[in-house]
Structure 1
């Protein structure tokens, strides 16, 4: 069995998951070279599957990346599959999950052609109790172009939103939930629909810091045991996917990112189904569990 672990040329040295996953696959009798999606010399048809791991530059090259994924999906099994990738790379899916009764961080979208100042004003009017808020592109990764603002920084937020809209990019506006500053985020990893492990992320968007210039914002990661209420929300989000995203069973991998709202209840921040870090270094058994689940899926 041969599985290609798919990264990007720009991310080869940055993905800490690649080495432990490659070693775990090899220990399970699977050849697993690490290859870049944008390496045109790769013959993808020789693999039983191509598992997306860190094509982290996709957001700036989305049409090219999706065209590549469509071609590769005709040559080998792409994990996760193309319909899921198409859906998950645009954060408008949050509104679909909300309509499916999954608790999500309150969200509003501004679309290209809209007036940025009006969009921000309407958002602030809708959420008068939000002392701070976040503006970020609906298609984005690694917290790039994401920015945290106070209400007093409305003018700066309007300029940020106007720039993104002028670049033909939809913008996601959300209240900044203050619990994240102390409790951080909880990211729950699932392999083939089964919960594996969880981590805590420290707050990524710090007050008065500009957006990261790196491929992804530096993260403060520690292991965490999720609460029962967090597991319940994560499973509800995954259970909604077949109807919304079209997958016909559990996905090979999924990461569910949660934070707590003002009442202390967990709400979905993001659903990472395309190229999430899975934090194998924070759970000694996780890489082997993922390797075994991939082997079983492809057997």
Structure 2
């Protein structure tokens, strides 16, 4: 039996999975997605002689004894402790544990300036201004630069729309407003509400499944925490090629898993919003073969052990 670790965090772990004597935390509103992932992976892994073990990424290193490969899973608070998270991954690798995706890729993917590198490599990306500090003046500059009436301000290190703000020309923040984090500013694209965001799930470089994510009425965030809805999407050949081009542009070996989130620009072309390769939710409900695909890919990675 090969032991596979699935990293979680205090707010995605069910209470029964916390270490004895550990302090339980209130589960996130989207922690059900953790449960769906485990339910999809466990039976498929078992068919391939893989034993799945859920571990809090902040657990002592002793909790990883006997584990051969670690998936980053639902470590959804890593952005709050990025240095500690990277240090843990590097420690696991130093002990001979395969980490998927590896710490070198995580370091690159954790700061969204990677999108600038993808653009330089020829990927179609959303126009972006990169700022260490964003004030009302900076938001106005972005509105003018993009010739738009709304801009989205995102953290350069962040996930799940955490701390994200929509700034509109008609309802600007106060003069003393400051975003509070190194930021990226992008024009708001109406396609998020009409067509929705398209997500393409890749396992070992091959497309597994695709889905369309739409926000709740009156919102623009597509995450389930904010009422977003997901549906299976049957992508066109052009859409598959657009998403595959992002995988091809990565400056790393093929990752075990990747979620490429794309949005249609006003010229009709898909542009990458995010290339999620740290701890993305992989939407098993929309991809019935996800568990089997991951199991097969993992078997290849541990076959030399």
Give me the TM-score of the superposition, normalised by structure 2: 0.86
Match of 1:7 in 2: 8
Picking from 192, 195, 205, the partner of 1:180 is 192
- Label 1:157 to 1:23 Cα distance change in 2 as closer, same or farther (>3 A): farther
Superposed counterparts of 1:167-246, under 5 Å: 169-203=181-215, 206-207=218-219, 217-242=226-251
Match of 1:264 in 2: 268
Match of 2:46 in 1: 26
User: 1:123: Cα distance to partner?
Assistant: 1.1
Worse-matched range after superposition: 150-159 or 16-25:
150-159
User: 1:17: Cα distance to partner?
Assistant: 1.1
Q: Per-residue displacement from partner, 1:90-112 (whole Å, max 9, x unpaired)?
A: 11111111111100111111104
User: 1:279: Cα distance to partner?
Assistant: 0.7
User: 1:41: Cα distance to partner?
Assistant: 6.2
Match of 2:281 in 1: 277
Q: Does 2:124 match 1:120?
A: no
Superposed CA RMSD in Å reads: 2.3
Match of 2:101 in 1: 80
Picking from 255, 267, 275, the partner of 1:251 is 255
Picking from 127, 137, 140, the partner of 2:158 is 140
Distance (whole Å) between structure 2 residues aligned to residue 255 and residue 204 of structure 1? 22
User: 1:158: Cα distance to partner?
Assistant: 7.3
Q: Between Structure 1 and Structure 2, how many residues are aligned?
A: 282
Distance (whole Å) between structure 2 residues aligned to residue 188 and residue 158 of structure 1? 40
Superposed counterparts of 1:32-181, under 5 Å: 32-40=52-60, 42-75=62-95, 76-112=97-133, 116-128=135-147, 130-155=148-173, 159=177, 162-164=178-180, 169-181=181-193
8 A contact 1:149–1:157 mirrored in 2: no
Match of 1:295 in 2: 299
User: 1:138: Cα distance to partner?
Assistant: 0.8
- Label 1:27 to 1:219 Cα distance change in 2 as closer, same or farther (>3 A): farther
Distance (whole Å) between structure 2 residues aligned to residue 99 and residue 154 of structure 1? 32
Give me the TM-score of the superposition, normalised by structure 1: 0.88
Question: Aligned to 1:239, what secondary structure does the other structure show?
Answer: helix
Q: Per-residue displacement from partner, 1:23-66 (whole Å, max 9, x unpaired)?
A: 21112111111111012264324211111111000111112111
8 A contact 2:9–2:77 mirrored in 1: yes
Runs of 4 or more, structure 1, over 3 Å off, are: 204-207, 214-219
* Structure 2 unaligned residues grouped into runs of 5+: 15-30
Distance (whole Å) between structure 2 residues aligned to residue 260 and residue 157 of structure 1? 33
8 A contact 2:142–2:151 mirrored in 1: no
- Label 1:204 to 1:108 Cα distance change in 2 as closer, same or farther (>3 A): farther
Q: Per-residue displacement from partner, 1:4-36 (whole Å, max 9, x unpaired)?
A: 011112112411212211221112111111111
Distance (whole Å) between structure 2 residues aligned to residue 156 and residue 234 of structure 1? 39
8 A contact 2:242–2:270 mirrored in 1: yes
Worse-matched range after superposition: 145-154 or 41-50:
41-50
Which structure has the higher relative contact order (CA within 8 Å, separation 6+)? 1
* Structure 1 unaligned residues grouped into runs of 5+: none
8 A contact 1:143–1:217 mirrored in 2: no
